[in-house]
Amino acid sequence: MQISTHQLAKGTKFETPYYIIKGNSVGNTVMITAGVQGDETANILAAKKLLDLLQKDILHIENGMLIIVPIVNQIAYKRRIRDIPDLNRTFLRKPNQAASHPLSAALFQLTKQFNPEWYIDLHEARGIFRSVSSFTSTSKQHAMSAIQI
């Protein structure tokens, strides 16, 4: 397993690290993003914890590639606010449309470059506690089979 560090939106004020973890053999690509909104910190902690476990070789990727962007919106995260901008509102809305912010454009280009089979954008819920009955054991197994941990 190999872990390398890269920069998203390199050379801009929105620059933020991302990590590529390559398994020992070819397989699916999974991309995980967190910290799109700076006031949501639980998802950032989860992404950082996953990265830490991989870096310490407690978890190991056997097949495929995992891309982790633990804090997409560094500026908003440092201020613990949702905006500057609220990136969730700046992504592409229609085919052939440009993203309305350089950071969302950079994230789109990263996604386009690696074309992941699975893209997981972590967020944080507030005050909503419901069981998700549609996420069955079978769908969990299918999601986990995208990368072997």
Q: Which residue has tokens 């969990």?
A: 140
Domains, the chain, ordered by start: 2-124 (3.40.630.10)
What confidence tens digit (pLDDT) does each residue in 20-57 have? 999 999 999 999 999 988 888 899 999 999 999 999 99
3-class secondary structure, 103: helix
pLDDT at position 89 over 50? yes
CA distances from residue 105 to 1, 73, 140 in whole angstroms, order as listed:
29, 13, 30
Residue 21 is predicted with a pLDDT of: 98
CA distances from residue 12 to 22, 91, 101 in whole angstroms, order as listed:
27, 18, 12
User: Using CA atoms, how far apart are residues 22 and 140, in angstroms rounded to an integer?
Assistant: 22
What confidence tens digit (pLDDT) does each residue in 92-124 have? 666 777 666 788 889 989 999 999 999 999 988
> How many whole angstroms from its chain centre is CA 144?
16
18 touches 110 (CB < 8 A):
yes
Residue 149 is predicted with a pLDDT of: 47
The mean pLDDT value of the chain amounts to 84
Q: In what order do the strands lie in the sheet with 25-33?
A: 2-8, 16-22, 63-69, 25-33, 118-121
